[in-house]
């Protein structure tokens, strides 16, 4: 900001103090003060010890609180700090002034799913990350060991859980259960990278969580925080912990069997990892935990653990059998194998590969019944004629009729779904190009997916519709196809 002031002023040859004040949103006195100071004086003022605020130590924790609960009031934040931090003696009035300065920063900051690291507040955060080490000698056989590391951000107390196979959702939940039992409590939040065990997908920074793991986290009362993609430094404590487990805990040792390796790591955690003087904090993790963090951890109740599962094969109508009744699954799982589990009076149906919940039914006690969720089947309430009429209204009756005939000729078995897709594509366009529609209608075959590719290509390179620049003669379908293919390949390269 100071450099910007000086650049805008340009030693009196640029903007005036009043103009700079309005442009940057700071007072004229502030602008005037810094314009009079040279660089050394500014640096000395910035580095002065008296500029440090006591609450700066807890800034990341406060940003995290305000980011999750923007309406949180100062008195409650003050109570939370007093409960978390022994000897906290900052007045509520001082905290209110500090929050008044901090709230606009939180409100205008670029949103992200992982907020700044919390390490000054006990019991606030646990960082979680996985690793694997190949060729570990177990019983004379080179074995790949899969493990997940849990590190409490405040005390740096560490726990490690292992798996013989790549970790699935069930084992992942069990690992959390082991870690929380080891810590004898749970933190406020756990931080992860974008593993499929936590995040199914992220689009526009909107996270779709693994449903089963999210239900477990909700039941035990821990918040889930997800780092931005390719942002390992946002959980650097546990990233270093994974390397520490590999290099100090496992490498160079041979084990008689799997249990021997697990016992070795348990001993290593107690005698080495959690008993050493930590290189960053200069303190012993176990001592810090017992003295300051254990009392701030919330009690852990082991609920939501994986239940016994069994397989079922859905028939061609999307029904599975359970206790002499039939229950529906989504259309995509017809003739597929799914997993089921019982939770009290609920039948939970899961994807056999991802272990994600795809359907939930209330279990009926009678026999010979069919229990269906209408959302699992195609929406028959909308007729084909309505889709065709909607397309006619968007591009004209003649063009609409030809386009619908082409879709039906290309994909007669899924004609209704194709119409729904084309209507969605056309509805999203702010302006529909008649020449593009004409080119598409002239194609021998057309699907909704192909139409989407052409529309996206045209949006990015409208000149592709014409043979050369300045010409208004439509391009041939072959030329337009090449441009659509080019845009497709560019998008694939960008994604990689």
- pLDDT tens figures, 369-386: 999 887 776 654 467 888
Please state, in angstroms and rounded to a whole number, the distance separating the CA atoms of residues 338 and 368.
Answer: 21
pLDDT for 470 equals 43
Place 481 in a pLDDT band, splitting at 50, 70 and 90.
low
Decide if pLDDT at 239 tops 50: yes
Q: Contact, 274 vs 157, CB < 8 A?
A: yes
Closest CA to 378 of 417, 427, 342: 417
Q: Is 393 helix (H, G, I), strand (E, B) or coil?
A: helix
- Count CA atoms closer than 13 A to 383's CA, side-chain side: 3
**Averaged over 418-422, what is the pLDDT?**
91
Percent of the chain with pLDDT over 90: 24
pLDDT for 244 equals 87
Task: Pick the most confident of 49-63, 94-108, 142-156.
Answer: 142-156
Please state, in angstroms and rounded to a whole number, the distance separating the CA atoms of residues 172 and 212.
Answer: 10
pLDDT for 382 equals 60
Please state, in angstroms and rounded to a whole number, the distance separating the CA atoms of residues 271 and 273.
Answer: 7
Place 193 in a pLDDT band, splitting at 50, 70 and 90.
confident
Cα–Cα distances (Å) from 139 to 146, 195, 262, in that order, read 17, 31, 13
pLDDT for 474 equals 47
CATH topology of domain 125-296: Nucleotidyltransferase; domain 5 (3.30.420)
- Count CA atoms closer than 13 A to 56's CA, side-chain side: 6
- Name, in order, each residue with C-beta under 8 angstroms of 330's C-beta and a sequence gap of 6 or more: 318, 358, 359, 375, 376
Q: Is 333 helix (H, G, I), strand (E, B) or coil?
A: helix
Confirm whether pTM is higher than 0.85: no
pLDDT for 52 equals 53
Please state, in angstroms and rounded to a whole number, the distance separating the CA atoms of residues 243 and 233.
Answer: 14
Give the least confident one: 111-115, 256-260, 393-397, 472-476. 111-115
Q: Contact, 68 vs 118, CB < 8 A?
A: no
Q: Contact, 387 vs 420, CB < 8 A?
A: yes
Give the least confident one: 97-101, 343-347, 414-418. 343-347
pLDDT for 270 equals 93
In the numeric block, which tokens belong to residue 492?
Answer: 């694939």
Percent of the chain with pLDDT over 70: 82
pLDDT for 495 equals 42
- pLDDT tens figures, 351-364: 887 778 889 998 88
Place 119 in a pLDDT band, splitting at 50, 70 and 90.
low
Decide if pLDDT at 73 tops 90: no
Average pLDDT, the chain: 81
Q: Contact, 365 vs 356, CB < 8 A?
A: no
Helix or strand holding residue 224 (H, E) = strand 223-226
Task: Pick the most confident of 57-66, 162-171, 176-185, 239-248.
Answer: 176-185
Please state, in angstroms and rounded to a whole number, the distance separating the CA atoms of residues 346 and 337.
Answer: 19
- Cβ-defined contacts of 486-495 (< 8 Å, 24+): 486/457, 487/453, 487/456, 487/457, 487/460, 487/461, 488/453, 488/457, 491/456
Give the least confident one: 113-127, 176-190, 196-210, 446-460. 113-127
Decide if pLDDT at 475 tops 70: no
Please state, in angstroms and rounded to a whole number, the distance separating the CA atoms of residues 109 and 125.
Answer: 21
- pLDDT tens figures, 308-349: 577 899 998 889 998 889 999 988 888 888 988 877 678 889
Please provide residue 321's backbone torsions phi and psi, each rounded to the nearest 5 degrees. -100, 140
pLDDT for 492 equals 44
Which one-letter DSSP state was computed for residue 194? S
pLDDT for 229 equals 56
**Averaged over 85-99, what is the pLDDT?**
85
Domain ranges of the chain: 2-51, 54-108, 125-296, 310-376, 384-495
């Amino acid at each position: 900001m100071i450099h910007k002031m000086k650049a805008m002023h340009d030693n009196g040859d640029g903007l005036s103090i009043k103009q700079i004040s309005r442009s940057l949103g700071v007072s004229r006195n502030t602008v005037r003060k810094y314009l009079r100071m040279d660089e050394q004086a500014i640096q000395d003022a910035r580095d002065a010890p008296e500029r440090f605020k006591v609450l700066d130590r807890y800034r990341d924790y406060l940003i995290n609180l305000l980011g999750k609960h923007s309406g949180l009031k100062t008195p409650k934040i003050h109570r939370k700090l007093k409960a978390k931090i022994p000897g906290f003696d900052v007045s509520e009035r001082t905290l209110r002034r500090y929050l008044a300065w901090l709230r606009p920063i939180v409100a205008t900051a670029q949103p992200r799913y992982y907020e700044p690291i919390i390490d000054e507040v006990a019991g606030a955060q646990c960082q979680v990350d996985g690793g694997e080490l190949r060729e570990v000698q177990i019983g004379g056989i080179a074995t790949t060991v899969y493990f997940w590391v849990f590190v409490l951000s405040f005390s740096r107390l560490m726990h490690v859980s292992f798996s013989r196979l790549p970790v699935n959702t069930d084992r992942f939940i069990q690992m959390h259960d082991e870690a929380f039992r080891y810590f004898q409590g749970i933190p406020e939040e756990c931080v992860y990278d974008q593993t499929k065990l936590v995040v199914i997908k992220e689009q526009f920074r909107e996270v779709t969580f693994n449903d089963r793991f999210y239900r477990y986290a909700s039941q035990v009362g821990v918040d889930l925080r997800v780092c931005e993609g390719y942002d390992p430094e946002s959980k650097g404590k546990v990233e270093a912990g994974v390397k520490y487990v590999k290099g100090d805990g496992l490498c160079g040792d041979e084990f008689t069997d799997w249990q021997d390796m697990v016992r070795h790591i348990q001993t290593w955690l107690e005698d080495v990892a959690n008993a050493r003087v930590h290189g960053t904090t200069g303190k012993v993790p176990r001592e810090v935990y017992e003295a300051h963090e254990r009392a701030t951890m919330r009690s852990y109740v082991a609920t939501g653990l994986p239940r016994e599962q069994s397989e079922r094969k859905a028939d061609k109508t999307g029904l599975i059998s359970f206790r002499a009744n039939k229950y529906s699954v989504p259309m995509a799982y017809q003739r597929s194998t799914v997993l089921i589990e019982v939770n009290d009076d609920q039948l939970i149906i899961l994807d056999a590969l991802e272990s994600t919940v795809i359907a939930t039914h209330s279990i009926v006690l009678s026999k010979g019944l069919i229990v269906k969720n209408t959302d699992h089947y195609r929406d028959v309430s909308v007729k084909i004629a309505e889709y065709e009429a909607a397309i006619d209204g968007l591009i004209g009756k003649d063009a609409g009729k030809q386009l619908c005939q082409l879709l039906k000729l290309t994909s007669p078995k899924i004609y209704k779904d194709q119409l729904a897709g084309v209507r969605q594509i056309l509805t999203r366009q702010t302006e529909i190009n008649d020449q593009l529609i004409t080119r598409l209608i002239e194609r021998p075959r057309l699907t909704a997916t192909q139409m989407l590719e052409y529309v996206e290509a045209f949006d990015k390179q409208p000149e592709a519709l014409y043979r050369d620049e300045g010409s208004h003669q439509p391009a041939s379908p072959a030329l337009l196809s090449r441009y659509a293919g080019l845009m497709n390949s560019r998008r694939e390269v960008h994604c990689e």
